[in-house]
Each structure stands twice: as C-alpha cells, then as structure tokens.
Amino acid sequence: MTSLLELEQGDKAIIKGFIGGYRFQVQLNNLGIHEGDEIEIKKKGAFGPLLISVHNSNVALGRGVAAKVMVEKVE
C-alpha cells in the first residue's frame, strides 16, 4: 500500500483507506471519493494539486490531502 501522492500521471489504483479522522473521511466522501473506488491520476505536476478521475468525474486534491489517501496500484 502506498499514498496517492506517490503515484505517477496515468497510474490507476484502488483506494484502500485514509489517514485521518472522521471529518477527513466525510470531506473526501462528499467529493465522491470512497474506500474501494478505482481512481486514475490524470495530471500531476512538480507543484500544486493532483487531478484524479473517480466515477467519471475529475477531482483536484491538494498534495497534503493526497498524502493521506492510501491506495494499491493497479497494473
């Protein structure tokens, strides 16, 4: 398992969990991001947010948030 921040552009992964409290998880759930979802990294630059695709929607996540989303890479 690794954090979302460690993936590269074009990588796909399954969300396995979150490092954070209940409010953090609710915040992500409100964005449509849930444990078990398959995501794809659409854009990742050296700085700034990551753009991910989840449920046919694009969502931008800050690097601090992305570091707390634990995933398993899909080959």
Q: What is the pLDDT of residue 31?
A: 93
Quick check: 28 and 17 in contact, CB under 8 A? no
Cβ within 8 Å of residue 69, ≥6 positions away = 3, 4, 15, 18, 19, 28, 33, 61
Q: What is the identity of the amino acid at 55?
A: H
What are the structural domains of the chain? 2-74 (2.30.30.90)
pLDDT band at 7 (very low <50, low <70, confident <90, very high): very high
> What rounded mean pLDDT belongs to the chain?
95
Predicted TM-score of the model (pTM): 0.90
